[in-house]
Amino acid sequence: MHPIGTTSDMKNFGAEDTMALMGELRDLKCEYQHHIVYLRSEVPDFGSDVMRHGYPCEREYSDVLADLRDHIARLEEAAQHVWESEQTLVATSHG
């Protein structure tokens, strides 16, 4: 119910199903958090509800999915802007 929250709603699953789902959920949470940290570091002016709500976030699955869809659209717009303008979104200090 809350895919990137800190609580688990998995009460009625068998042990095998629960372990597989918990592994996938762990991977999602790691990638989700890494993505947010990376964008905050490299493109601090980029904004979306994913960035605003952060991680962990107790929003329900349907809300997280809507946030991710909007986040993707905003990333695509930013990428198109970079492509057309030939300018980066921010200057990085990485040598």
Under the banding of pLDDT at 50, 70 and 90, the label for residue 9 is low
Cα separation of 42 and 89, whole Å? 9
- Check residues 59 and 2 and name the one with the higher pLDDT: 59
Which residue type is seen at 26?
Answer: R
Query: Residue 65's pLDDT is what?
Result: 95
DSSP designation for 44: T
- Please determine, for residue 14, whether its predicted confidence score (pLDDT) is greater than 80: no
- Is-contact 42 92, C-beta < 8 A? yes
Query: Residue 18's pLDDT is what?
Result: 77
Give the pTM: 0.74
Average pLDDT over residues 6-31: 78
Taking the CA atoms of the chain, what radius of gyration do you get in angstroms? 16
- Please determine, for residue 13, whether its predicted confidence score (pLDDT) is greater than 70: no
- Please determine, for residue 93, whether its predicted confidence score (pLDDT) is greater than 50: no
Output the average pLDDT for the chain.
85
